[in-house]
């Protein structure tokens, strides 16, 4: 392995042990037994720091605070003998400081855990490097041009009914087909759209594309439900329900089965306006889904107040539920909660058959993830729906 890894731990024996493990994994490492010495060291992008939380002079939390002030570019992996809850809070704290905390490890450290976090940390690193070195920072004018020149496309990801393996719906996910850089993912442009006033025309374009595609599919007798992602500014615009109804009516698609996905954090803004818009959307017959559930800050009473009919459990819990008992408990509880509140529950990020089996045991309604298919162009999605592979997967794992 190519990178230098920095170990910050007051315990000499522990740091030596970690150093030996890293050697076995092919990594060079540098040890600091005094956090003060470590804080004198200049960190570079690409450095990986294994930071102990409990040290006598300056503890790891203080080190995190100091690193935040220096805009630390390194990847951080936290270490501690405390239980997972403490490590998890420390990770959250680091991220709240805008630090790049990639993982945490419980002491005594196991070789396989160290290897796992280093591999995922490195993958993050590679992704970021290719992202930043290849792509420029796009401007509002460039995105405006893209919108005007039909460079925005939708790809569709299947959502599968766990009771029979049939396609229930598709989630439309935006892509920017850039003439020089190829297909760009939402992470590369949604924030730009949201931070400028372009999110309103962008969402209008997404709705237009989705309606047109539905019309083309319907003509072939293919009518999956369509889920669209809606941003906070769309929700605080009181005109949204009428605009959507009018767009559908003008294309004679008033009966289209449309589900609007909003994230939990969207609801933190102007709750009264959001509530007004969301309630009228439901009254006009649109479905409402709460996306990335579990990662935001909505209180349970908020969940009850807004008329959602679908709950999408965030993929961070779904992807880890196979090996992490806490994630499993969260997923199970979210499914119960959704059902008790009369909602259908979707699990996002279903990547393997073991996860599928657990979701089926937990009586989850719908699954979406790479196991079934990635977001794909419209024609591919239609072919996917016809090949029936998802039904075979479900019959193997989800027998009632
Ligand atoms: P989201 O709405 O939570 O969409 C799910 C994201 O997870 C998609 O990423 C999807 O490709 C990815 N995903 C699905 N299954 C798996 C899996 O099994 N494993 C993994 N690793 N990932 C999976 P994508 O397309 O990059 O979209 C990211 C986010 O961008 C979306 O998250 C949504 O918040 C936002 N977005 C996408 N299209 C739109 C849009 O038209 N409008 C708005 N406002 N936001 C959009
Ligand atoms: Mg979504
Ligand atoms: Mg999501």
Task: Please choose from 310, 348, 355, 384 the residue to mutate so as to test ligand 1's pocket, defined by most ligand atoms within 8 A of CB.
Answer: 348
How many percent of the chain have pLDDT more than 90? 62
Main-chain phi, psi angles of 288, to 5 degrees: -125, 130
pLDDT band at 355; cut points 50, 70, 90:
very high
173 CB near ligand 1 (under 6 Å): yes
Identify which of 286, 280, 282, 300 has the alpha carbon closest to the alpha carbon of residue 257. Answer: 286
Q: How far is the CA of 365 from the centre of ligand 1 (A)?
A: 19
State residue 400's pLDDT score.
54
Residues 6+ apart with CB under 8 A from 18: 7, 9, 29, 50, 109, 114
Q: Residue 318 CA: which ligand is closest?
A: 1
Give the pLDDT mean for 2-22: 88
pLDDT tens, residue by residue, 266-281: 776 677 788 889 999 9
Residues 6+ apart with CB under 8 A from 6: 29, 30, 31, 32, 38, 41, 43, 47, 48, 49, 50, 74
Atom of ligand 1 nearest to the CA of 370: 18
Measuring from atom 23 of ligand 1, which residue has the nearest CA? 349
Q: How far is the CA of 172 from the centre of ligand 1 (A)?
A: 9
Domains of the chain, each with CATH number or no CATH: 5-132 (3.40.50.2300), 140-397 (3.20.20.450)
pLDDT band at 131; cut points 50, 70, 90:
very low
Highest mean pLDDT among 71-85, 101-115, 347-361, 384-398: 347-361
pLDDT band at 299; cut points 50, 70, 90:
low
10 CB near ligand 1 (under 6 Å): no
Measuring from atom 21 of ligand 1, which residue has the nearest CA? 349
Query: For residue 125, is pLDDT > 70?
Result: no
Lowest average pLDDT, out of 258-267, 356-365, 385-394, goes to 385-394
Q: How far is the CA of 188 from the centre of ligand 2 (A)?
A: 16
Q: Residue 200 CA: which ligand is closest?
A: 1
204 CB near ligand 1 (under 6 Å): no
Predicted TM-score (pTM) of the model is: 0.77
The residues placing their C-beta within 5 Å of ligand 3, an ion, are 291-292, 348
How many percent of the chain have pLDDT more than 70? 92
The C-alpha atoms of residue 156 and residue 153 are separated, in whole angstroms, by: 10
More confident residue, 76 or 391: 76
Give the pLDDT mean for 228-237: 89
Question: What is the pLDDT of the chain when averaged over all its residues?
Answer: 89
């Amino acid at each position: 392995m190519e990178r230098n890894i920095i170990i910050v731990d007051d315990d000499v024996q522990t740091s030596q042990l970690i150093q030996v493990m890293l050697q076995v994994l092919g990594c060079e490492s540098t040890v600091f037994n005094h956090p003060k010495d470590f804080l004198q060291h200049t960190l570079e992008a690409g450095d990986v720091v294994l930071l102990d939380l409990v040290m006598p002079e300056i503890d790891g939390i203080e080190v995190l605070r100091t690193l935040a002030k220096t805009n630390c570019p390194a990847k951080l992996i936290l270490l501690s003998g405390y239980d997972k809850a403490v490590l998890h809070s420390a990770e959250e704290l680091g991220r709240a400081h805008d630090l790049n905390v990639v993982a945490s490890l419980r002491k005594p450290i196991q070789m396989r855990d160290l290897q796992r976090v280093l591999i995922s940390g490195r993958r993050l690193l590679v992704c970021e490097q290719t992202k930043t070195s290849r792509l420029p920072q796009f401007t509002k004018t460039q995105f405006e041009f893209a919108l005007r020149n039909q460079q925005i496309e939708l790809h569709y990801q299947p959502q599968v009914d766990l009771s029979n393996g049939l396609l229930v719906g598709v989630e439309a996910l935006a892509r920017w087909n850039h003439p020089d850089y190829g297909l760009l993912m939402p992470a590369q442009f949604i924030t730009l759209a949201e931070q400028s006033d372009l999110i309103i025309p962008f969402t209008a374009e997404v709705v237009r594309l989705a309606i047109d595609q539905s019309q083309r599919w319907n003509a072939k007798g293919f009518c999956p439900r369509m889920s669209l992602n809606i941003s906070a500014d769309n929700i605080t615009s009181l005109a949204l329900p009428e605009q959507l109804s009018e767009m559908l009516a003008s294309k004679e698609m008033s009966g289209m089965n449309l589900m609007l996905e909003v994230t939990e954090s969207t609801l933190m803004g102007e709750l009264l306006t959001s509530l007004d818009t969301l309630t009228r959307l439901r009254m006009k017959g649109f479905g409402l889904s709460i996306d990335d559930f579990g990662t935001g800050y909505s209180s349970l009473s908020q969940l009850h107040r807004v008329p959602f009919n679908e709950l999408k459990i965030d993929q961070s819990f779904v992807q880890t539920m196979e090996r992490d008992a806490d994630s499993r408990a969260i997923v199970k509880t979210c499914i119960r909660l959704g059902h008790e509140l009369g909602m259908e529950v979707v699990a996002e990020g279903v990547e393997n058959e073991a996860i599928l089996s657990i979701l089926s045991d937990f009586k989850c309604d719908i699954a979406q993830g790479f196991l079934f298919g990635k977001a794909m162009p419209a024609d591919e999605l239609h072919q996917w729906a016809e090949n029936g592979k998802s039904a075979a997967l479900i019959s193997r794992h989800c027998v009632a």
